[in-house]
Amino acid sequence: MQTAKPYRESRSAKYPESVHIIIVKDGKGRYNPMSASWVMFTSIEPAMIAISVGFERYTYELIEKQGEFVISIPSETMAREVDCFGSNSGRDLDKLKELGTATEPAAVIDNVLLSDASANYECRVTASLKTGDHMIFAAEIVASHINAEAIQRLFVLGSKQYGGVKFDQD
């Protein structure tokens, strides 16, 4: 039996939910990370992915300007990063510097990869679609990287609760 609930209250039924970190370069030369759950692969050949970003986010402003970003899959050790990157804006804080998060240069685009993440995807925007208060950006994955050491990726289990889930590397 189902009970009617407003959308805002029923959204928690979707947990556990995957979480990602979207990184975009800003005009000050900083790489700004933002936590994001609303992400999905959309094509195998060419490799494509879509993300949904709120209009008020600094990340939205930056993607509109840069047209490219990295999507990082946080490993189980990165709950602190997801929390900080999802509750502070890069307009006010250099988030990577604040936590001392390890990075390394991306291979194709002007960006960084998160060294301890389970995987990192370098992406170039190909299309966008306004959906209510968010913009969906579709992007081609131009390079992908995987961390053989970090085999547990992070999931959001509930409000501010995070846990690792093992994935199959075959």
Residue 124 or residue 134: which is nearer to ligand FMN going by CB? 134
For the bound state, the minimum distance from the C-beta of residue 160 to ligand FMN, rounded and expressed in Å, comes to 8
Judged by CB under 6 A, which of 18, 30, 37, 48 binds ligand FMN? 37
Residue choice 18, 86, 125, 136 for contact with ligand FMN (CB under 6 A): 86
Residue 40, beta-bridge partner list: 50
Q: Which is nearer to ligand FMN, 54 or 124 (CB)?
A: 54
Residue 67 binding ligand FMN, by CB under 6 A: no
Residue 70: name the closest of 152, 136, 143 by CA. 143
Min CB(107)–ligand FMN separation in Å: 24
Give residue 78's identity as a one-letter amino acid code.
M
| Nearest to ligand FMN of 104, 158 (CB atom) | 158
Transcribe 75-133 into DSSP letters: BGGGHHHHHHHTTS-TTT--HHHHHT--EEE-SSSSSEEETTSSEEEEEEEEEEEEETT
Q: How far apart are CA 102 and CA 123, in angstroms?
A: 20
Query: Rounded CA gap, 82 and 152, in Å?
Result: 15
Q: What minimum distance in Å lies between the beta carbon of 155 and ligand FMN?
A: 10
Q: Which residue's CB is nearer to ligand FMN, number 54 or number 67?
A: 54
Q: How many residues make up the chain in this entry? A: 170
- Burial of 54 (C-beta count, 10 Å sphere; 0-12/13-18/19+): middle
Of 58 and 121, the one with the shorter C-beta distance to ligand FMN is 58
Binding site for ligand FMN (CB under 6 A): 19, 32, 34-38, 52-54, 57-59, 82, 86-91, 134, 156
